[in-house]
Amino acid sequence: MRILGLDFGSKTCGVAVSDPLLITAQGVEIIRRESAAKLRKTLARIEELVAEYEVSEIVLGYPKNMNDTEGERVELTREFQEKLERRTGLKVTLWDERLTTVAADRLMIEAGIRREKRKDYVDQIAATFILQGYLDYIRNGDGR
């Protein structure tokens, strides 16, 4: 059993997966698309990853504003959540993603990754932070 973590953006979707013991999250890839509206290939790729990694649950980054309000991206994320649930038949949990992109960027700066290369990795690293936060919560928070 594994959990898939997603950082859903306007033209990318960062992907991470847990280890079978649900302790650590590892980045897998970034799914790219030409426009925000073209989700068919993104959903198909996620389905492939669900099968490949034997995923039992999906965690989707929930993009609330820093002041705890919900903006335009929240509605798009909820629509994506519904599509994922229909397409995969899995539970899709929304997880607060505030500051994950900032943390991912900071990690790459500390690792010495050049500015022009950071965009190639930021969504995958953010997905890893989203998933790791959720894994830490279920291990420590709700006693699963």
Distances (CA, A) of 112 to 28, 101, 108: 21, 17, 6
Q: What mean pLDDT, rounded, does the chain reach? A: 85
Query: Taking the model in full, what pTM does it have?
Result: 0.84
Whats the size of the chain, residue-wise?
144
* pLDDT at residue 144, rounded to an integer: 47
**Rg of the chain, C-alpha, whole Å:** 14
Please answer whether residues 100 and 128 qualify as being in contact, where contact means their C-beta atoms are separated by less than 8 angstroms.
no
CA 63 to chain CA mean position, Å:
11
pLDDT of 107 strictly over 70: no
* pLDDT at residue 66, rounded to an integer: 62
Give the max Cα distance, the chain.
42
- Could you give the percent of the chain with pLDDT greater than 90? 50
What's the average model confidence in pLDDT over 19-46?
Answer: 91
The letter for the amino acid at 47 is E
CATH of the domain spanning 2-140, picked from 3.40.50.880, 3.30.710.10, 3.30.450.20, 3.30.420.140: 3.30.420.140
Could you count the other beta carbons within 10 Å of the beta carbon of residue 35? 8
Instruction: Kindly report which listed range (16-20, 29-33, 82-86, 108-112) carries the lowest average pLDDT score.
Output: 108-112
Any idea where the domains of the chain sit in the sequence?
A: 2-140
